[in-house]
């Protein structure tokens, strides 16, 4: 027998008594019975309020326990700002590196082209037999020099082109960073929805569990990554110390 059925049975009994007393004209007894009914109503009302208060308290408590919202405000969103600023820095650097390489390379190509044009003109003179021996010796010397410097300049060019290639490495890293920020934004969105729901529904606490090897994306200055080592040398040292 639940508390409720006991209460309902009492209310019914009191109601029946009320009717009996009223029919009998016993005003005092009737009034007493009516009082009891009113009090019973109040009790059940207080119980309802108590239950709601308890549920609200629990929801607030579990909301506090799920400190995701606090984390978002204090840590994740400032982190996101750092990450995006870093994206700007990286793309800026990549653009600078690329343009420097190009600016260095263009004069090289122009030099080679100019000298080649010049030599070609002289070579044509030679072919048309418009050149004397002395001039030819000078031409031979020029060609020799040209071949040497072209070799050097080509190597330089190749190196610069490689710089341009490597400068594109930002895209992969910035892409990863941006993807993470998108995930964060989705997280914020979910939490806002939860906040809205809080008024009508108990919030279920998040089940966070620390995964030490979870992917974290590139290291960003200003954003702390627990346990991150600093650069290839540190990686090599760690592996060496483990016997690899």
Partner 1 sequence: MKILIVDDFSTMRRIIKNLLRDLGFNNTSEADDGKTALPMLKAGDFQFLITDWNMPGMQGIDLLKAVRADDKLKTLPVMLVTAEQKREQIVAAAEAGVNGYIVKPFTAATLKEKIDKIFARIEGGA
Largest CA distance in the chain: 151
What is the number of other CB atoms lying within 10 angstroms of the CB of residue 146? 15
Stretch that binds partner 1, among 4-12, 77-85, 133-141, 218-226 (CB under 8 A): 218-226
Which residue in 162, 183, 201, 208 binds partner 1 (CB under 8 A)?
162
* Site pattern 168..187 for partner 1 (x: CB under 8 A): xxxxxx-xx-----------
| CA gap 147, 141 in Å, rounded | 10
Alpha carbon distance, N-terminus to C-terminus of the chain: 71
Q: Rule CB under 8 A: is residue 239 a binding residue for partner 1?
A: yes
Whole-angstrom Cα Rg for the chain:
42
- Whichever of 129 and 214 has its CB closer to partner 1, that residue is 214
Say if residues 164 and 102 touch (Cβ distance below 8 Å).
yes
Return the residues of window 20-39 that contact partner 1 according to CB under 8 A.
none
| CA gap 201, 59 in Å, rounded | 8
Return the residues of window 68-107 that contact partner 1 according to CB under 8 A.
none
Helix (H, G, I), strand (E, B) or coil at 240: helix
Number of residues forming the site for partner 1 (CB under 8 A): 32
Q: Which residues bind partner 1 (CB under 8 A)?
A: 162, 165-166, 168-173, 175-176, 212-213, 215-219, 225-232, 234-235, 238-239, 242, 244
């Amino acid at each position: 027998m639940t508390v409720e059925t006991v209460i309902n049975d009492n209310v019914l009994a009191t109601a029946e008594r009320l009717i009996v007393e009223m029919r009998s004209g016993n005003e005092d007894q009737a009034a007493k019975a009516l009082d009891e009914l009113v009090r019973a109503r109040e009790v059940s009302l207080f119980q309802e309020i108590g239950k709601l208060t308890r549920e609200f308290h629990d929801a607030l408590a579990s909301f506090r326990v799920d400190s995701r919202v606090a984390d978002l405000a204090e840590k994740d969103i400032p982190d996101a700002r750092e990450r995006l600023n870093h994206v700007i820095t990286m793309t800026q650097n990549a653009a600078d590196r690329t343009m420097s390489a190009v600016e260095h390379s263009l004069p090289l190509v122009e030099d080679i082209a100019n000298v080649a044009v010049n030599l070609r003109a002289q070579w044509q003179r030679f072919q048309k037999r418009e050149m004397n021996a002395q001039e030819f010796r000078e031409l031979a010397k020029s060609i020799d020099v040209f071949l040497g410097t072209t070799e050097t300049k080509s190597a330089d060019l190749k190196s610069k082109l490689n710089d341009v290639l490597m400068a594109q490495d930002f895209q992969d890293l910035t892409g990863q960073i941006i993807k993470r920020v998108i995930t964060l934004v989705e997280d914020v969105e979910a939490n806002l929805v939860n906040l809205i729901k809080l008024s009508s529904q108990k919030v279920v606490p998040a089940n966070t569990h620390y995964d030490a090897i979870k992917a974290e994306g590139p290291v960003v200055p200003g954003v702390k990554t627990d346990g991150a080592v600093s650069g290839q040398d540190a990686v090599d040292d760690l592996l060496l110390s483990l016997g690899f």
